[in-house]
Structure formats: C-alpha cells, structure tokens
Amino acid sequence: MRNFWIDTDTASDDAVAILMALRWPDVNVVGISVVAGNVHVEKGAKNARYTVELCAKKTPVYLGASQPLVREPTWGYFFHGDDGMGNKNYPEPSLPLAEGNAVEALIDAVRSNPGNITLVTLGPFTNIALALRIAPDIAEKISMCYAMAGAAATLGNITPAAEFNVYVDPEAAKIVFDSGIPLLMVGWEHCRGQANLVEEEMAYVRTFNTPFADFAIDCNAHAISTNKEWLTEPGLALPDPVTMAIALDPSICTKRSPHFVDVEIESELTLGMTVVDQLGVTKKEKNIEVCWEIDIQGWKDLLYKTLQQE
C-alpha cells in the first residue's frame, strides 16, 4: 500500500479528487489537512468529511490554516457555489474533525513514515509552508509531492498571470518550491479543452448508477456553469482530479522535466505567477518538476474507474 496525505481547500473538484484516492485499491490515505482557499477552512473541512463518509472511510480530517501567511484571503465561492459544492447543501457529516492541528498532524505523519508519504496538494500551500517552517527535515522525508498549482507558460485563471492556488498564498508557494521537496507542478492548463468532461461524457458517468458518479457531477453543478460562461470551456474542468490521477498513476503525465520555477510575490500585475525557466536562461538550480503534457483519455479512464462500483 502507498501512503497518501492530501492537503485541500475542499470544494467540488477537490471532493472528487479525494474520492478518487479513497477508492484507489493500493492507496491508504493517512490523513487529510484542510486549508483556507476555495472556501473558509471550516466549510472545507465539512466538505472533506462528507466525502470521506460517502466513501465509507474514517480517514482523519484535520483543520489547518484559516488564512494565508501574510495576505488577506481570496475565496473561490464564485466558481464553486456558496457551499463550495454546487449549492447542493449536503448534510453535516457524522464523522467528527480529528483532534489536533493539521500542520502538526502532517509533520507527525511524515516523520512516522519517512520516505513513504506521497503528498498531494489541491489548494494553497499555507499548511505545507507552515509545516516546513517548524520541521524543515520533512522535505527530505516526503517521497513525492504532486501539486495542483500554477500555470507553466500559459495564462492564469484568477488573474491574467496567476493560477488560483498559488495566487491565494504566493509566499507559501515560494517556500514550498524552494524547500527541496520532490515536487511535480501540475498546472491548471491540464484540465482545459479536451480534458474537460463534455455533456456526453458526463451522461456516460451517470450511467454508472453509483452514488460516487452522481456525486462527482452533482457537486460540480455550479462549477460547470461557471466554467462554460466565464472561461468559455466546453464542459466540466477538474484540475484537482487531474492532479490526483497523476499521483495515482504517474504515467498519466506523459511529459515532465525539472526546471527552476520562481513565484512572483511583489508585483501587483503578476502576483502569484509561476515563472518557469524552461530554457535555463537564469542558470539557477532546478527546484521542481513541471508537467507539460498528459494522457487525456488515460486521465478520464482512471476517473471513470474510481466512480464505478467495485
């Protein structure tokens, strides 16, 4: 079994990604830490716990940072709905919050399983940066980090230059990128265009006739309409599930390479931009890997597998 730790600002696409990991046969989700981002941290924790219960698991869900390191919060309600879950207003889960702080729980998990924790980040990096400040030794103990973050040589989705997760807490992203954690940046561009689930594919998911399939489409109802109207995309974009698919099966990322990647933390115009030195012109040491291409059909097939009944 592979041990995963998921850090998330749980809204609709995060929930689908969590579901995928919980239902993957050789993955044990040790814990889930929640961070402010798409929604307030308490709401994100509720959404994460609801998803865990849906999967008939008891994975501990920990409350983490309620705001970025130094900035005022930026929320994603406009995209995911007032509850972060397509305005479906799912009931309060019976699974309680795990005792303790998310940052300390993450540190304990990594130190208890050195070299055997895969970290998957689906939101801003605040919790991870705080953990690294307290325990920098965990950087070399994490086997791999798959991060839904940034945009490599492409446009942003919250400003012209920046992707949401990095924009919310760019200082935290910079800390994590420079920490030495082996990290693959999966930019939001990989959920766009043909990687969207179009109407026919969403209808196909409905034919699975499972609570997981219905949940995946229903909780994204608001995101579907926003994605079409605001970003003029063809259907449902699922950035976090794309990243989770790569964590579950790294071959889904068909082109990746290491680069020096910096995060803009000062410019008002390009705040949160992930600047990838693709050609090595800065001569700076490569700090993370960048995903450049994915197997689009492969990612969709993996998603379908997790939504079908076992």
Paired strand residues for 66: none
Q: Give Dmax (Cα) for the chain.
A: 53
pLDDT tens digits, one per residue of 239-250: 999 999 999 999
Average pLDDT over residues 117-145: 98
Average pLDDT over residues 166-195: 98
Spatial contact of 275 and 150, defined as CB atoms under 8 Å apart: no
2-187+254-290: CATH class: alpha beta
- What is the percentage of the chain residues whose pLDDT exceeds 90? 98
Average pLDDT over residues 39-62: 98
pLDDT tens digits, one per residue of 203-219: 999 999 999 999 999 99
Whether 310 shows a pLDDT value over 80: the answer reads: no
pLDDT of 302: 98
| Cα 132 from chain centroid (whole Å) | 19
pLDDT of 121: 99
List the chain domain ranges. 2-187+254-290
- Scan for tokens 């930026």, then name that residue: 74
| Cα 125 from chain centroid (whole Å) | 10
Q: How far apart are the C-alpha atoms of 268 and 292, rounded to whole Å?
A: 27
pLDDT of 41: 98
Average pLDDT over residues 257-266: 98
DSSP-assigned letter for residue 308: S
Angle between helices 12-22 and 221-229 (to 10 degrees): 130
Confidence of residue 309 (pLDDT cuts 50, 70, 90): confident
Average pLDDT over residues 114-138: 98
Average pLDDT over residues 218-245: 97
Residue 257, SS3 per DSSP:
strand
Other C-beta atoms closer than 10 Å to the C-beta of 121 total 29
Q: Give, rounded to a whole angstrom, the gap between the first and last alpha carbons of the chain.
A: 18
Residue 45: half-sphere exposure toward Cβ, Cα within 13 Å = 23
Q: Calculate ∠ Cα 86-239-216, nearest 5°.
A: 40
pLDDT of 113: 96
